[in-house]
Amino acid sequence: MAQGLIEVERKFLPGPGTEERLQELGGTLEHRVTFRDTYYDTPELSLMQADHWLRRREDSGWELKCPGAAGVLGHHTEYKELTAEPTIVAQLCKVLGADGLGAGDVAAVLGPLGLQEVASFVTKRSAWKLVLLGTDEEEPQLRVDLDTADFGYAVGEVEALVHEEAEVPAALEKIHRLSSMLGERDRPFCAFPAPHFSLLEAPTGPCSGGGPLD
């Protein structure tokens, strides 16, 4: 994702007919892909408690998801995705209260910041895009990702990318409309079920109600 874009998303529980329903709504299957994600945090899970999610995706690189503007309620969440390593390092230092580490590579600051692997799993994803009927076809398409992790956990996500905070309400309205058309119910989001935590004790529990699996 381009640096600086805001990701607005809503998680839901996919069912056996979700892909068929997407086709009926005019959705296009972009691709199916399998990938491994490894997440990093402190032993106290300081990043997750601050709703920050540091991930290295196999053959893709580092990404840090940060909370967007306050006031996004309910099952909608808003994140900024950072992919430039100097920017990631600067944000990590800010959240963890560390100074003097410069703006180097993420891997170089893992040790000084006390960050270690806390979860690693393989996900199978089908990625869809579509434009809702009744909207301008020139508008950015909504994205729907259907994920199944190697431990059997399945989650769907409707996502819109916007450039400014002022665009968030309209994006939320479109996300809600599509979710209603899919007929799927919201689900509390379990970021990392207990068997996939390398740290046995999570201060807030392994199911936090928020955070990305994407």
Instruction: Determine if residue 9 is labeled as part of a ligand binding site.
Output: yes
Q: What is the pLDDT, as a whole number, of residue 26?
A: 92
The better pLDDT of the pair 31, 186 is held by 31
Question: CA dihedral in degrees (93, 98, 103, 107; nearest 10)?
Answer: -80
Q: What is the pLDDT, as a whole number, of residue 211?
A: 52
Instruction: Determine if residue 145 is labeled as part of a ligand binding site.
Output: yes
Q: What is the pLDDT, as a whole number, of residue 133?
A: 67
Q: What is the pLDDT, as a whole number, of residue 152?
A: 85
Instruction: Determine if residue 7 is labeled as part of a ligand binding site.
Output: yes
What's the whole-model pTM score?
0.73
Whole-number Å distance between alpha carbons of 74 and 97: 30
3-state class (DSSP) for residue 4: coil
Tell me the average pLDDT across 149-159: 89
Domain spans of the chain, in order of start: 6-196
Contact residues for 202 (Cβ-Cβ < 8 A; gap 6+): 45, 48
Instruction: Determine if residue 159 is labeled as part of a ligand binding site.
Output: yes
Residues in the chain: 214
- Structurally, at CATH architecture level, domain 6-196 sits in Beta Barrel (2.40)
